[in-house]
Amino acid sequence: MDTEERSRPADVRAALVAAAAVLIEELPESQVSLRAVARRAGVSHAAPAHYFPSRTDLMAAGLAEGFDALTARMVAGREAAGDNPWDRLKAIGLAYIAFALERPRTYTMMFQPGYMTGPDTLMARAGARCRDVLTLAVAETRRPDGVDQDLGVAFAWMNVHGFVSLLTNGMLDCGPAEGLNPTPEMADRLLSLMRPAYERR
């Protein structure tokens, strides 16, 4: 009896999802095949078919892990920021940017519509949990008149997502910093410009 046969189905499925998440970041998208995932997970080439109807479904499960990892990162940032609502929202934004720059392939694919196959899929639910963190943080802020919750969520996401997109596509020059990475400082300054939209004076 081999290792796969001794493993519980949930363990094999979890190993496949974990392997897919790793390979999504390590390899070009076209090279993340069912065989490559099975090899990385240490299971037979036939194993993925027992748990996922298609490569798209396995990739979506790996990308759902990306959403969950992003959510955890945002929550950790929020909780470390203290009690001030604006500080908590800003920390969520900085955590979002940091995740996107650390896992750029995963981040890019998380927002490709081809893998979001329905409103009640594993990936859609993971994405909704991630959005809920931002929505709650915006709801806690003391926004001025004219900035309702939906607008506040859209404005916050537009800023962090836009910043990441421009940076990763080489369209934003952060400038030299004597060997240091200037991106965190620029991200901090960018988000600080948002403060009047979330904190009444």
Q: 151 and 90: one domain?
A: yes
Please tell me whether residues 47 and 63 are part of one structural domain: no
Determine the pLDDT at residue 181: 56
78 near 130, Cβ under 8 Å? no
CATH code for position 79: 1.10.357.10
Angle (nearest 5°) at CA 124 between 152 and 88:
35
Q: Is the pLDDT of residue 73 over 90?
A: yes
With beta carbons less than 8 A apart as the criterion, state whether 59 and 115 touch. Answer: yes
Same domain, 29 and 114: no
pLDDT band at 122 (very low <50, low <70, confident <90, very high): confident
Q: What is the CATH number of the domain that holds 5?
A: 1.10.10
pLDDT at 200: 84
Which residue segment(s) compose the domain that 119 sits in? 55-197
Threshold 0.75, pTM exceeds: yes
Which segments of the chain does DSSP mark as H helices, in order?
3-6, 9-26, 34-41, 47-51, 55-80, 85-102, 104-110, 122-140, 149-168, 183-192
Query: Are 80 and 67 part of one and the same domain?
Result: yes
When divided into structural domains, the chain yields a total of 2
User: Is residue 43 located within the same domain as residue 64?
Assistant: no
Amino acid type, 26: E
Residues 173 and 80 in one domain: yes
Average of per-residue pLDDT across 128-156: 96
Co-location of 8 and 80 in the same domain: no
Confidence of residue 131 (pLDDT cuts 50, 70, 90): very high
Q: Are residues 121 and 41 in the same domain?
A: no
Whether 116 and 21 share a structural domain: no
Same domain flag for 186 and 100: yes
The chain-wide mean pLDDT, for the chain, equals: 89
177 and 162 within one domain:
yes
Distance CA 168, CA 67 (A): 19
Task: Identify the pLDDT of residue 168.
Answer: 84
Band of the pLDDT at 80, cuts 50, 70, 90?
very high
